A and B are shown apart, each in its own frame.
Chain A
Amino acid sequence: MGMACESQFHVLAVDDSLIDRKLIERLLKTSSYQVTTVDSGSKALEFLGLRDNDQTDPNTPSVSPHSNQEVDVNLVITDYCMPGMTGYDLLKKIKESSSLRNIPVVIMSSENVPSRISKCLEEGAEEFFLKPVKPDDLNKLRPHMMKTQKLRDQAQKRDEKIETPEIQLAPQSLVEQQHQQSVQIVNTNKRKTVEEGLSLETDRTRTRYNGIATMV
């Protein structure tokens, strides 16, 4: 019996800059996410399995974990300024798609333009990060992915109840357990000022705090 118990969240990172792709990939991997990087919005849509004429299947619930998506992506993080399809265009396409609209989308930009930020948030972006993205920014991602996980688990539960009503599943608590096993704490003291001298640690133990207290 398949359960929506992912040991790792899968993030799709979109950026036309090779350097920034490398950075975001490394940052995400350090946070134990599975990462796929692509260099354009159109490749992102391709990866997400979005066809040009995305037809809505009336029998498929909109939050089904196994809808038109060919791969399971828990979050899309995209650069804003890209040639061709911008991050905003990509955001729009995702939110307009019945199969993809529940995937949380985060926008990154090197420019702090308030109208740009509000435009993206209004279109449904969960967060807007200024580049260069910091490890602390990534701490904001998990809640969005867990929220979607919850929706998927509920949909899964619904599907499974229809199929095998005698089996009691609690995928949410299992997911919760897995994440509590990886409770980590952010060490913000790593950043030393120039005056204190620099310590370039290559074997630091990074830890993060999982701020999720409850899952309904």
Chain B
Amino acid sequence: MESVVRLQRQLVDYTASLFQEGYLDEQFIQLRQLQDESNPQFAVEVVSLFFEEAERLLDELAKGLSQENTDFKRLDAQVHQLKGSSSSIGAQRVGRICIAFRNYCEMQNVEGCLNSLQQVRQEYSSVKSKLETLFKMERQLSAAGGSVSSP
């Protein structure tokens, strides 16, 4: 009984910190609210899709930037896609870097693009690890008999 309360507290605190540090924004709350008994894993499923898509896009961006004649239009379309999906799940920091990235694409600035790519990789990596921790805490809480909603 006590561990459920502790785990619940831990989850709430951890989640709050992610918002305070700007990793997640309100859209993540919206995502959680779409979860219910009939779709108990909705947020996890959508976030997993995001991970898959982001990793694929990051690889393509790296490939695109390593080519002789950079296809900036294609790069821009890919960054646009990444920006869109990160904003759809509330991954605020990733989205922000994408905005700068797109500007560099528009200016056809390879250096700027490479820097942005590096930053976006870092931010993605951070938010991925934090979300994985968050979901793990939720699983622990459920396993201990608690529910994700606060009393």
Contacts and interface: CB of A to CB of B under 8 A. Distances in A.
B49 A198 contact: no
A203 B36 contact: yes
B103 to A, nearest CB: 14
B40 A202 contact: yes
Interface string A69-104: 000000000000100000000000000000000000
| Chain A interface size, under 10 / 10 to 19 / 20 to 34 / 35 or more | 20 to 34
A118 interface: no
A190 interface: yes
Interface in A123-171: 131-132, 134-135
28 contacts: A17-B88, A18-B49, A19-B46, A19-B85, A23-B88, A26-B34, A26-B39, A30-B34, A110-B84, A110-B87, A134-B30, A190-B33, A191-B26, A194-B19, A197-B150, A198-B16, A198-B19, A198-B29, A199-B12, A199-B149, A200-B15, A201-B148, A202-B35, A202-B148, A202-B149, A203-B147, A203-B149, A204-B36
Interface of B: 11-12, 15-16, 19-20, 26-27, 29-37, 39-40, 42, 45-46, 49-50, 53, 80-81, 83-85, 87-89, 147-150
